[in-house]
A and B are shown apart, each in its own frame.
Chain A
Amino acid sequence: MKNSKSKTIPAIFLLFAFCGLFSDFAYAIDVKRTVLPNGLIVLHSEKHNLPLVMVTLLVKASPLNEPENKAGLSNLTAELLAEGTKSRTSAVISEEVEFIGASLDTSVNSDYTTITLSVLKKDIHKGVELFSDILLNPVFPAAEIERKKGIIKGSLRQREEEPSFLAGRAFRKEVFGSHSYGRLLEGSVTTLDAITREDIAGFYSEYFLPNNSILSVVGDISGDDLQSMINQYLGRWKKSGLSSKSINKIDKKTERKIILIDKDLTQANILFGHRGISRDNPDYYAVMVMNYILGGGGFSSRLMHSIRDVMGLAYDVHSSFSANKEGGFFQAGVQTKNESANAVIAEIIRHIELIQKKEVTTEELSEAKAFLTGSFPRKLDTNRKIADFIALVEFYGLGTDYVEKYPAYINAVTKEDILRVSGKYLYPHEYVLVVVANQEKAGLKQSGGPE
C-alpha cells in the first residue's frame, strides 16, 4: 500500500495561532495544520477542559458534482455511508454508536459533505474505528438504497406541508435555474428513481478521497495520540487522481418573476430576492455589514424595526446573503397574515431602495461593526463549533490568520462601501418574489408591489 501507514507526519507543519485582536479581549486557538502523504489535510486543536473529542471530516463532494438528472446523488451517498459496511450491517453500526452515547452523522450542503463524530474521550478508539469504517468500507446494499430512497421521497412529500419549504424550493429554482444551487439537496422523485447503485458507488470512489478532504479534530487528544490513531484507522485511505469533471457555472440572470402558490393558510410566506455573491467576493465583508443594517441584525435591523416593531405585522423578518463557493443569493423572508402581504412586500422594497440611495448613519455603522466583531468569539466557544469552523476556514481558503484578521476586515468597511455594495448587489426591480398564501385573501397586486 503506497502512501499509507506513514509512521511520521512530515509534510507541511504549520502552527497557526488564532490570536484575537479584538478590541478588548484576547482569544486564541492553537491549530496545528498538517498535510499527510495521502493528501489529507489534518487540523488539530488540543483542548483538555472536557473528556470529549469532536471530529469533523469535510469532503469536497456535493450537488455541484452531480449530473442534473441524478440530483440527490451526493445526499443519497452520504446518507448510505452508515447503512452497511464490509463488516457491519446498518443496525449494528447504529447500535454500537449509540451504546457509547456518541453521535456519528453525515450531512450534505450546497458545497460539501461532512461526517461528524462527537465522542467521549474514554470511547475514542471505538468511535474513530466506527467513523473510519463508514468512511472507508461502505458497501451500499441494494435493500438499504431502496429503503433510503423511500424515506427521502416520503419526507419530501411530508415537507409539502411546510409553506416555507414550498417557498424556498420555488425561490431557488427561479434564481439559479438548472444549476445545482437551484435544486433540492435531496433531488426529486424522478431523479432519485434514476440513481442506481453504480452511480452511488462511482460517486463515492470518485470523491471520497483523502486528497479531496479536510479532517479537523478538537478536544481531549494529544498530537501523538491523534497521529497514531490516524495511522491505525485511516492508514489504508489511498490517494487517487481527482475528478477532472468541471463544476457547473451559474449562467442564469435574475429577471423579475412573481410566483404565487395557493394554499389554505392563515399567513402569507414571502420570499423576495435574487442572485448574490460567492464567498470569495472581495466585497463579502462590506455586504455582511450592509445586510446587518438592512435585515440581518435582528432587532437592530431596519426591516425588523419597521415591520415588526412599528407595524406589528410579523413575528420574524430578516434578510441574508448566502455566499457559497460558486455563487449565492440574497433573500428577504417574512410571514404575515394573508391580508398584510402587499404592505409587507412594499416595505421590504422601500428599505432596499432606501439603503441604496442614502448613506447609513454613523451610529448604524458602528453598531453593526461592534456586533460583528464582538460576537465573533462566540463562533468558537465550544469544541464542536471550533471543529466545524476550522474545517470551513480551510475549505473556503480564508487563510490561517483568518480569526486574527476578521475584525480588521469588518472595521475597514465605510459608509461609502455600504452605499456602493448596496447599489451593486441589491436589485429592487429584478427580483424573484414567491408568495405561498391563501391567494384570495392575500390579493397580491400582479406587479408584486409598488414601483
Chain B
Amino acid sequence: MLLLLLCPGIISAGEIIEYQLDNGLKILILEEHKAPVATFQVWYRAGSRDEPIGKSGLSHLLEHMMFKGTSQYGPQEFSRIVQKNGGTDNAYTTEDHTTYFQIFSSDRIAIAFDLEADRMQNLTIDPKEMLSERNVVMEERRLRYEDDPQNALFEEVNAAAFKAHPYQRPVIGWMSDLKSIERDDLYEYYKANYSPRNAYIVIVGDVKPDEMISKIENSFGSIPSGPVRKNVIFSEPVQRGERRISLKREAELPYILVGYHTPSFPDDDSYALDVLSLILSGGKSSRLYKSLVYEKKVALNAYAEYSGFSSDAYLFFLGATAFPGKDIGEVEGHIYAEIEKIITERPDDREVMKAKNQIESSFIMEQDSIFLQAMKYGTFEMLGGWRLIDKYLVGIRKVTAEDIIRVAKKYFTEENRTVGVLMPMKNSK
C-alpha cells in the first residue's frame, strides 16, 4: 500500500510563536516569507450560541456595528483606512466565534493594530446607525435565506434537530428576533464578550514576530482584561425518533437534507466521521456521486458534509437535489442504501487511504494561502489550542475501515435523524 511519505514537519503545526499579554490577550504568529503579505485576525469567543433567547442574530449584528464607528473613528472609517493602504478587511460570525481580519502588504500590517484595539473597547453603537444597520442585516437575511429555497430548508432542519441547544437558531437571526434587538442589547453583549480575556490574535505572513509583539503590546496592552467569561455548557438531549419536516415554496426541483447528531472534534469518533464524509462525497469517485448522480441518475447532485470543528456536538449532513422528473422519495431511499452499504460492504483499504490522502493534501494545499493558514490555527485555538492540529492529523491517520463501520452504525440510525424535504410549488400569482 502506498503510504504518504510526507515529512512530518510539513503538515504538522508550524513554528508558531505564542505570546500572552498581561491582560490575557493571546497572540499566535506564524512567519511565512513566501510573499510580501500578511494577515491580522482578531478572534472573539462569542457567537450565536452565546446569545440570549429571543435575540438571535445579536452576535452578527454586533459584527456589523463593529464597522460603524468608535469615539475616535466615524462609521466605515476603519475600512476606508485599510483600503487606502491597499488592504482588505472583513469579518464573519459563526455559532461559536466572531472573527475580524485584514490582509495587507506586510509593511502595512501594523496599521490594523490601533484600529482593532480601539474597537475592542470604544465602540459607539449609535442608536440611529444601529437602526440603519439592522435594516442592512434584514436585507442580508432576505438575500441568503428568505429568497433561497435550499438555504431556507437548512434553517428548518437545524431548528428541528435541536430542541435545547442554541445551535437551533440561525446565526443571522430570525426576522422577528432581529426586529426586537435594541441598542442596549448590543452594548451589553459587547461589554460582556469583547475583551482581551475573551479574544486572541492570529498573524500569518511576512513579519518579524518580535516587532509584531511589541507593537501589539503598545496597542492592546492597556485594555482592561474584561469580565471572566461564563462558559455555559449546553447539551442536546438524545433524539429518540426521526423528525421530518417539509417546506413548500416556489422552487424548481425537490431537495432533501438529512442531519444526524454527531460529536465534534476532538471526540474519538470525529476522525472516522471525517474520513467517512470523504468516502461518501470527496469528489466524483466518492460513493454518493457515483451511485446517485452517475449510475442511477436520480440526483443532480448529492453530498455529505461533516465538520467536527464546532464547540459542541453538531450534525452530519447528507443532501441531494432530485434530477428533473425524479421522485425525492426515491432519492432518499438511495441515500440510505449508500449508508447501509458502508456497514454491509466494508470500505476497501484503497478507498480509506484515498480519503486520508485528500485530507492530508488539503492541509498542504491550504498553506499556499496565508489567510487559510491563519484560519486553521484560529479554528484549532478556539477548539482548545492550536497544538490540537497535530492531534487531528494523528487521529485521521489512525482511522481504519472498522472504525468507519462502527461510527456509521452508531450515528446513522433512523432515530437520530432529522429529514427535511423541499417541495417545489409554482408561483401562485
Q: Is A157 touching B253 in the complex (CB atoms < 8 A)?
A: yes
**A354 to nearest B CB, angstroms?**
19
**B279 to nearest A CB, angstroms?**
11
How far, in angstroms, from A336 to B147 measured CA to CA in the complex?
Answer: 12
Asked if A440 CB lies within 8 Å of chain B CBs, one says yes
Q: Is A377 touching B36 in the complex (CB atoms < 8 A)?
A: yes
Q: Is B5 touching A51 in the complex (CB atoms < 8 A)?
A: no
Query: Which residues of B346-366 have CB atoms within 8 Å of chain A's CB atoms?
Result: 350, 353-354, 357-362, 364-365
Q: Is B253 touching A154 in the complex (CB atoms < 8 A)?
A: yes
Q: Is A267 touching B84 in the complex (CB atoms < 8 A)?
A: no
Residue with the greatest number of chain B CB neighbours at <10 A, chosen from A97, A158, A380: A158
Segment touching A, from B137-145, B227-235, B376-384? B137-145
Q: Is B324 touching A120 in the complex (CB atoms < 8 A)?
A: no
Query: Which residues on B sit within 8 Å (CB–CB) of A299?
Result: 67, 76, 79-80, 83
Q: Is A101 touching B367 in the complex (CB atoms < 8 A)?
A: no
Bin chain B's interface residue count: 35 or more
**A340 to nearest B CB, angstroms?**
9
Contact of B79 (CB < 8 Å), options: A27, A300, A311: A300
Q: Mark A366-410, 1 if CB is under 8 A from B, else 0.
A: 110011011111101111100000000000000000000000000
Asked if B323 CB lies within 8 Å of chain A CBs, one says yes
Q: Is B107 touching A25 in the complex (CB atoms < 8 A)?
A: yes
Segment touching A, from B115-123, B289-297, B309-317? B289-297
How far, in angstroms, from A109 to B65 measured CA to CA in the complex?
Answer: 38
Asked if B409 CB lies within 8 Å of chain A CBs, one says no
Asked if A276 CB lies within 8 Å of chain B CBs, one says no
How far, in angstroms, from A194 to B105 measured CA to CA in the complex?
Answer: 51
Q: Is A375 touching B354 in the complex (CB atoms < 8 A)?
A: no
Q: Mark B51-70, 1 if CB is under 8 A from A, else 0.
A: 00000000000000001000
Q: Is B250 touching A264 in the complex (CB atoms < 8 A)?
A: yes
Contact of B139 (CB < 8 Å), options: A24, A27, A97, A267: A267
Given A91-B290, A267-B147, does the pair A298, B83 have CB atoms closer than 8 Å? yes
Q: Mark A84-109, 1 if CB is under 8 A from B, else 0.
A: 00000011001101111110000000
**B428 to nearest A CB, angstroms?**
7
Asked if B368 CB lies within 8 Å of chain A CBs, one says yes
**A310 to nearest B CB, angstroms?**
8
Query: Which residues on A sit within 8 Å (CB–CB) of B286?
Result: 98
Segment touching B, from A56-64, A252-260, A312-320? A312-320
Q: Is B136 touching A300 in the complex (CB atoms < 8 A)?
A: no
Query: Which residues on B sit within 8 Å (CB–CB) of A99?
Result: 285, 350, 353-354, 357
Given A24-B107, A25-B107, A158-B321, does the pair A91, B67 have CB atoms closer than 8 Å? no
Q: Mark A7-43, 1 if CB is under 8 A from B, else 0.
A: 0000000000000001011110000000000000000
**B246 to nearest A CB, angstroms?**
17
**B370 to nearest A CB, angstroms?**
7
Task: Output the nearest chain B residue to A340 by Cβ-Cβ distance.
Answer: B139
Q: Is B357 touching A154 in the complex (CB atoms < 8 A)?
A: no
Contact of A98 (CB < 8 Å), options: B108, B282, B364, B365: B282
**B85 to nearest A CB, angstroms?**
6
Segment touching A, from B127-135, B157-165, B179-187, B260-268? B127-135
Q: Is A378 touching B300 in the complex (CB atoms < 8 A)?
A: no
Q: Mark A132-163, 1 if CB is under 8 A from B, else 0.
A: 00000000000000010011011101101111
Q: Is B364 touching A264 in the complex (CB atoms < 8 A)?
A: no
Q: Is B300 touching A155 in the complex (CB atoms < 8 A)?
A: yes
Query: Which residues of A338-378 have CB atoms within 8 Å of chain B's CB atoms?
Result: 366-367, 370-371, 373-378
Q: Is B139 touching A374 in the complex (CB atoms < 8 A)?
A: no
Query: Which residues on B sit within 8 Å (CB–CB) of A155?
Result: 300
Q: Is A151 touching B300 in the complex (CB atoms < 8 A)?
A: yes
Q: Is B132 touching A373 in the complex (CB atoms < 8 A)?
A: no
Query: Which residues on B sit within 8 Å (CB–CB) of A381?
Result: 35, 37, 369-370
Query: Which residues of B295-332 have CB atoms within 8 Å of chain A's CB atoms?
Result: 297, 300, 321, 323-324
**B34 to nearest A CB, angstroms?**
4
**B372 to nearest A CB, angstroms?**
9
Asked if A325 CB lies within 8 Å of chain B CBs, one says no
Q: Is B139 touching A300 in the complex (CB atoms < 8 A)?
A: no
How far, in angstroms, from A377 to B37 measured CA to CA in the complex?
Answer: 8
Q: Is B36 touching A25 in the complex (CB atoms < 8 A)?
A: yes
Contact of B131 (CB < 8 Å), options: A264, A312, A374: A312
Given A95-B285, A375-B88, does the pair A266, B142 have CB atoms closer than 8 Å? yes
Task: Output the nearest chain B residue to A367 by Cβ-Cβ distance.
Answer: B84
Q: Is A374 touching B76 in the complex (CB atoms < 8 A)?
A: no
How far, in angstroms, from A98 to B355 measured CA to CA in the complex?
Answer: 8
Q: Is A49 touching B34 in the complex (CB atoms < 8 A)?
A: yes
Q: Is B253 touching A337 in the complex (CB atoms < 8 A)?
A: no
Number of interface residues of A (CB under 8 A): 76
How far, in angstroms, from A26 to B282 measured CA to CA in the complex?
Answer: 40
Q: Mark A106-131, 1 if CB is under 8 A from B, else 0.
A: 00000000000010101000000000
**A305 to nearest B CB, angstroms?**
7
Contact of B86 (CB < 8 Å), options: A98, A312, A373: A373
Asked if A303 CB lies within 8 Å of chain B CBs, one says no
Asked if B209 CB lies within 8 Å of chain A CBs, one says no
Q: Is B107 touching A312 in the complex (CB atoms < 8 A)?
A: no
Q: Is B132 touching A312 in the complex (CB atoms < 8 A)?
A: yes
Query: Which residues on A sit within 8 Å (CB–CB) of B361?
Result: 100-102, 120
Q: Is A374 touching B147 in the complex (CB atoms < 8 A)?
A: no
Residue with the greatest number of chain B CB neighbours at <10 A, chosen from A161, A308, A380, A383: A161
Given A151-B300, A370-B86, A381-B370, does the pair A337, B142 have CB atoms closer than 8 Å? yes
How far, in angstroms, from A52 to B103 measured CA to CA in the complex?
Answer: 23
**B423 to nearest A CB, angstroms?**
13
Asked if A265 CB lies within 8 Å of chain B CBs, one says yes
Contact of B368 (CB < 8 Å), options: A122, A336, A374, A382: A382
Asked if B217 CB lies within 8 Å of chain A CBs, one says no
Residue with the greatest number of chain B CB neighbours at <10 A, chosen from A150, A313, A375: A375
Asked if A412 CB lies within 8 Å of chain B CBs, one says no
Query: Which residues on B sit within 8 Å (CB–CB) of A316?
Result: 143
Contact of A91 (CB < 8 Å), options: B33, B105, B146, B294: B294
Q: Is A51 touching B364 in the complex (CB atoms < 8 A)?
A: yes
Asked if B87 CB lies within 8 Å of chain A CBs, one says yes
Query: Which residues on A sit within 8 Å (CB–CB) of B33?
Result: 49
Asked if A262 CB lies within 8 Å of chain B CBs, one says yes
How far, in angstroms, from A299 to B353 measured CA to CA in the complex?
Answer: 46
How far, in angstroms, from A423 to B46 measured CA to CA in the complex?
Answer: 49
Task: Output the nearest chain A residue to B108 by Cβ-Cβ distance.
Answer: A374
How far, in angstroms, from A81 to B360 measured CA to CA in the complex?
Answer: 27
How far, in angstroms, from A337 to B147 measured CA to CA in the complex?
Answer: 11
Q: Is B368 touching A384 in the complex (CB atoms < 8 A)?
A: yes
How far, in angstroms, from A27 to B36 measured CA to CA in the complex?
Answer: 7
How far, in angstroms, from A64 to B369 measured CA to CA in the complex?
Answer: 34
Asked if A199 CB lies within 8 Å of chain B CBs, one says no
Q: Is A314 touching B136 in the complex (CB atoms < 8 A)?
A: yes
Task: Output the nearest chain B residue to A383 by Cβ-Cβ distance.
Answer: B368
Asked if A1 CB lies within 8 Å of chain B CBs, one says no
Q: Is B428 touching A337 in the complex (CB atoms < 8 A)?
A: no
Q: Is A300 touching B252 in the complex (CB atoms < 8 A)?
A: no
Asked if B429 CB lies within 8 Å of chain A CBs, one says yes
Asked if B238 CB lies within 8 Å of chain A CBs, one says no
Query: Which residues on A sit within 8 Å (CB–CB) of B87?
Result: 374-375
In addition to A370-B84, A375-B86, A377-B35, 12 A-B residue pairs with Cβ atoms within 8 Å of each other are A24-B107, A47-B34, A98-B286, A101-B361, A122-B5, A154-B324, A161-B251, A300-B80, A315-B140, A378-B88, A384-B368, A438-B429
A-B contacts, 27 listed (Cβ < 8 Å): A50-B364, A50-B367, A51-B6, A52-B368, A91-B284, A91-B290, A94-B285, A98-B284, A99-B353, A101-B359, A101-B362, A147-B294, A157-B252, A158-B321, A161-B251, A161-B253, A163-B147, A267-B139, A267-B147, A299-B79, A300-B83, A300-B84, A367-B84, A370-B83, A370-B85, A382-B368, A440-B429
